[in-house]
A and B are shown apart, each in its own frame.
Chain A
Amino acid sequence: MPDWQRFIREKLADAAISGIERENLIAELANHLEDLHAELLASGIAEPEASAQCRKQLIDIHQIAAAKRSQIWEGGMNQRTRTVWLPGLITLTMASGSLALMQLFAFSRPRVDWFERGTDVIGVLWLLLLVPCGALGAYLSRRGGGSRWNSIVASLFPSLTMFAVFCLVLPIAIFFEGNAYIVHHPRYFGWGLLFWTVIPGVSLFLGALPVLGKWNTQNHARTDRPQTSG
């Protein structure tokens, strides 16, 4: 019997598909050709003719590879949306929404100021509320089939967003607005970073911990090729 795997591998040499997906595609198509070849031989067709008919099936192999590539790309996007973006955005909405609501309704002071006494309580309450927010993000990511890292990113999404904002604020303030205040007072920038990114991040992560603890290796086994007998 011809070595169909080698034959397909050669045909796909210039196809833009790699890694495990490439190997899976080669294995699937080679299996198909092996079956077809065996069936043709069983029906009484001579080997050269059977091989030729099988080879003819691969005329449009690049069409198959393109469909596979498209599936991987779109599947990857869907997977990322399900396991990172959507849980992350929900966590961010919950975190920022809870802070806004507390400021609007529960307390007379309209803003959180970490440096003023009396308003600390809002911050502490918010940090406590971030614990279930982090848990929710991690849970939604895990339920969507996310890996451990996906769940961590989803739960820390509000902190990561704030970190990104801080990273943007610095160059914008210095280079576009010509504001040298931050440069002369880096300590304030550091405090801001600590109170808006690191400490909330710790709260969120504490919430995510029980969910991450339940996370098992099966969630991560999405290589599409389990070794099951049957």
Chain B
Amino acid sequence: MQFLRIATALCLVTFFGARAQAGPTSPLLEGEFDFASAEDLSHNVCTMLVDGGGFVADGGVNSVDDAFQSVSINYSTAQPTSITRSSDKLAIKQSEFATLSVTVGAATPFTNLPIEKCSVTSSFSKSKVKGSVSLGCKGDNLSDLLSADQIASVQQAMAKLKRVKFKVSAALTKWSLSVVCAGELQP
């Protein structure tokens, strides 16, 4: 997530950089807006970023499995499919192929992997000082991505978070994941 944000910033600075001349200042929303789920606090965080023509919504959930091994899932709109922006509001959505990254203990089974049936929806209101980022994904091939032990770890860790639902079929293939990160803008 961090990498993506830095990469985006670098690219956007290069691409849209030269705001040279003095002129009227645009009031359109710009900046990075961070939120944390009120129920899960630092275990469920998300961000919306708008910088010129660049738009990213991303988030991450982290917890521990029953053996206290850390587990984290990060998600991102690597290719947003719809965006609206005004001076007060921002909405960024990717309706399919949002990306997931998973870390279990010291292992990172996959990073920034596009998942076909995976959407990220986000919105922010500057006047209300509130925002949310939601993730909804499902797939048929979890055992291609994670080992049985890793799946068990992810199940145990995600069960500890209120706004996260992770389900896997008995055959460890079909799966679904939903995350809701909604809260007030973090300073």
- Are both chains from one complex? no
